Amino acid sequence: MSPAADSRQELKELLKRLRAERPTIVEAATTRSNAQRATRRVIKIELAKGPATVPALASACSLPSADALWHIAAMRKYGELVENGQDGDYCLYRLTPNDEGSD
């Protein structure tokens, strides 16, 4: 085996061992993460249609508006969306070009 393959195998074994050491924590984290990714996919599909406010996005995605805002904050922090003007008392958000159409 090449050194890279060795290293991949070592990582695989380490992750397997650690998952066995803390199964409950890893399972709970995985469940939360999967749910979060599913929500994020829906948000991105909505935003791909055009800029939206938090209440509009929350309504379209059937999410509490506070949760929708949290996702907006997360996506903004990691460069997945930007502000795009205002609609009344609310900011509009749109996907950054790299994220348009993804997921």
Partner 1 sequence: MSETPRFDALVIGAGIAGLQAAVDLADQGFKVAIVERDPSIGGAMIALSKVFPTLDCASCITTPKMAAVARHPNITTFTYTEVLSVGRAGDRFVASVLSKPRYVDEEACIGCRKCEYACPVEVVDEFDGRLGARRAAYIPFTTAIPQTALIDADNCTLCGACVRACPTDAVVLDQRPREWQLEATAVVAATGWKLTPVGAKPQYGGGEITNVLEPTQMERLLAPHGPYGRVIRPSDGKIPESVAYVQCAGSRDQTLGVSYCSRVCCMYAIKQAMLLSGSLPIADITIYYMDIRAFGKGYEEFYRSAQAMGIEFVKGKVARLTENDDQSVTVRVERLDQFGQVEERRHDLVVLSLGMLPGEDVRQRFDLEVAEDGFVMTPQPKDAPCRTTVDGIFVAGTASGPKDIVDTIVEAGAAATEASLYISKMIAAAETATAASSADVTSPAADRVEVKV
Q: According to the binding rule CB under 8 A, does residue 17 interact with partner 1?
A: yes
Under the binding rule (CB under 8 A), the answer on residue 15 touching partner 1 is yes
**What residues contact residue 58 under an 8 Å CB cut-off, 6+ apart?**
64, 65, 67, 68
Q: Is 19 in the site for partner 1 (CB under 8 A)?
A: yes
Q: At what angle do helices 54-61 and 23-48 cross, to 10 degrees?
A: 110
**Contact string 29-58 vs partner 1 (x = CB under 8 A):** xx-xx--xx---------------xxx--x
Q: Are 84 and 94 in contact (CB under 8 A)?
A: yes
Neighbours of 37 (CB within 10 A): 10
Contact (Cβ atoms closer than 8 angstroms) between residue 84 and residue 51: yes
Residue from 83, 100, 101, 102 that binds partner 1 (CB under 8 A)?
Answer: 83
Question: Rule CB under 8 A: which residues touch partner 1?
Answer: 11-12, 14-15, 17-19, 22, 25-26, 29-30, 32-33, 36-37, 53-55, 58, 65-66, 68-74, 76-78, 83, 86, 89-91
